């Protein structure tokens, strides 16, 4: 959806705001405006939309909405994402940027997060220190953006500084802040520091578990992934697609066919068996664990419109020594209208070279 169509959807909800100065109120407007403004901000993805962003801003001003802190923060983000930092700066410095209420952090968070999304990490950190000079303290939405900036800049000292700051404010164990810090530590291979912080978080959700499990897997601590999954289940936290893909990849690497089969059953119960990434992870797990017959059974049960799925099967045939079958599978892939990629051809090379199939090479 482009911003023009989004603005048309926004208009009916905004127009009644004209009556607010006469003492009227509209619960519908108050409830729907945040969602509609979020839709608008996501629609502004490049500088060609700047004119439309200005039109939306003017429309909000005319209807006396733009002075609210939430709305101002959203408009700031729209200007930044559209690439108009001059308009963004003009609006930003017209706001009350000093510590005056709990909402004074919103415009700061908006402009910092916009810089981060555009890859302008140095500018994001610069505005953070400027924010401190204005006497505004960061909140749990500020730290993840700043930590991401430090990771992008490969600034480990900055990450440690931010953790100390978050700790001094009692926010380092917040699940959002902790997830960002854990991910940052794992980027540097500091698995002990990440694990220590993880265990200090009292309220763990699926997201922070996934960050930790993927970190273990990335660092090669496969046993910790398996133990972590058990602990996650004991905490009665349901795994999602990210969890399944992570643990199934470990099962494939360690040939843990029994655990992989249990995860397959859990995916079935969860209704996730045929979700794109999970079905491919299951195929890969069965193939690499020496249970290619199970991979074939699963393949016959699923829709076959995915290049990755076909690649898993072709690779599985080759790894199982079934070269002729891999070529038949490739022919079926082409017949079904699925386009091969570089991985497809590299997987087929052993089969082609063994049978000297010149027609396949061509």
pLDDT tens track for 164-200:
999 999 999 999 999 999 999 999 889 999 999 999 9
What per-residue confidence (pLDDT) applies to 121? Answer: 93
Of the CA atoms within 13 Å of residue 304, those in its CB half-sphere come to 22
Same domain, 217 and 272: yes
CA distance 124 to 146: 7
What per-residue confidence (pLDDT) applies to 63? Answer: 66
User: Any idea which of 73-77, 141-145, 224-228, 247-251 has the lowest mean pLDDT?
Assistant: 73-77
Residue 237: exposure state from Cβ atoms within 10 A (0-12, 13-18, ≥19): middle
* pLDDT range class, residue 55, cuts 50, 70, 90: confident
The answer to whether the CB of 330 falls within 8 A of the CB of 344 is: yes
DSSP letter (8 states) at residue 45: -
CA distance 340 to 62: 54
Same domain, 334 and 248: no
Structural domain boundaries enclosing 278: 204-301
Structure tokens given for 178: 């902790």
338 pLDDT higher than 70:
yes
What per-residue confidence (pLDDT) applies to 202? Answer: 86
What per-residue confidence (pLDDT) applies to 260? Answer: 92
Residue 22: exposure state from Cβ atoms within 10 A (0-12, 13-18, ≥19): exposed
Domains in the chain, number: 4
Structure tokens given for 242: 């990210």
Task: State which of 176, 203, 230 marks the end of a domain.
Answer: 203
Question: Is residue 259 in some structural domain?
Answer: yes
Structure tokens given for 299: 């393949």
User: Any idea which of 116-125, 134-143, 353-362 has the lowest mean pLDDT?
Assistant: 353-362
Question: Is residue 127 in some structural domain?
Answer: no
In percent, how much of the chain has pLDDT > 90? 40
User: Any idea which of 2-16, 138-152, 188-202 has the lowest mean pLDDT?
Assistant: 2-16
pTM, whole model, 2 decimals?
0.75
Comparing 289 with 76, the larger pLDDT belongs to 289
User: Any idea which of 20-24, 53-57, 73-77, 334-338 has the lowest mean pLDDT?
Assistant: 20-24
141 pLDDT higher than 50:
yes
Same domain, 216 and 296: yes
Question: Is residue 31 in some structural domain?
Answer: no
Same domain, 297 and 312: no
Report the pLDDT averaged over residues 32-61: 63
The answer to whether the CB of 288 falls within 8 A of the CB of 255 is: yes
Across the chain, mean pLDDT equals 81
Q: Report residue 126 CA to chain centroid gap.
A: 25
Of the CA atoms within 13 Å of residue 48, those in its CB half-sphere come to 2
Of the CA atoms within 13 Å of residue 338, those in its CB half-sphere come to 18
């Amino acid at each position: 959806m482009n911003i023009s169509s989004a603005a048309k959807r926004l208009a009916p909800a905004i127009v009644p705001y004209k009556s607010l100065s006469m003492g009227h109120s509209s619960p519908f407007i108050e409830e729907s405006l945040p969602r509609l403004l979020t839709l608008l901000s996501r629609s502004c993805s490049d500088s060609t939309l700047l004119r439309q962003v200005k039109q939306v801003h003017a429309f909000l001003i005319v209807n006396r909405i733009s002075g609210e802190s939430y709305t101002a923060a959203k408009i700031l983000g729209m200007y930044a994402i559209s690439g108009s930092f001059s308009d963004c700066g003009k609006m930003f410095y017209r706001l009350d940027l000093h510590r005056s209420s709990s909402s004074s952090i919103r415009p700061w968070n908006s402009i910092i997060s916009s810089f981060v999304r555009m890859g302008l990490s140095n500018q994001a950190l610069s505005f953070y220190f400027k924010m401190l000079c204005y006497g505004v303290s960061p909140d749990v939405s500020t730290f993840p953006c700043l930590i991401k900036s430090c990771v992008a800049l490969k600034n480990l000292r900055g990450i440690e500084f931010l953790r100390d700051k978050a700790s001094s404010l009692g926010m380092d164990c917040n699940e959002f802040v902790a997830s960002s810090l854990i991910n940052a530590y794992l980027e540097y291979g500091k698995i002990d520091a990440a694990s220590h912080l993880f265990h200090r978080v009292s309220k763990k959700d699926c997201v922070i578990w996934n960050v930790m499990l993927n970190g273990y897997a990335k660092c090669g601590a496969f046993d910790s992934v398996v133990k972590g999954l058990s602990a996650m289940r004991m905490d009665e936290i349901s795994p999602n697609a990210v969890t399944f893909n992570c643990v199934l990849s470990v099962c494939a690497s360690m040939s843990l066919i029994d655990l992989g089969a249990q995860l397959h059953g859990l995916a079935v119960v969860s209704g996730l068996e045929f979700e794109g990434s999970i079905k491919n992870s299951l195929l890969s797990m069965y193939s690499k664990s020496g249970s290619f017959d199970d991979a074939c059974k699963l393949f016959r049960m699923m829709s076959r419109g995915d290049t990755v799925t076909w690649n898993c099967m072709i690779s599985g045939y080759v790894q199982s020594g079934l070269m002729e079958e891999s070529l038949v599978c490739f022919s079926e892939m082409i017949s079904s209208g699925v386009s091969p990629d570089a991985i497809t051809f590299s997987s087929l090379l052993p089969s082609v070279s063994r049978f000297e199939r010149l027609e396949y090479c061509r």
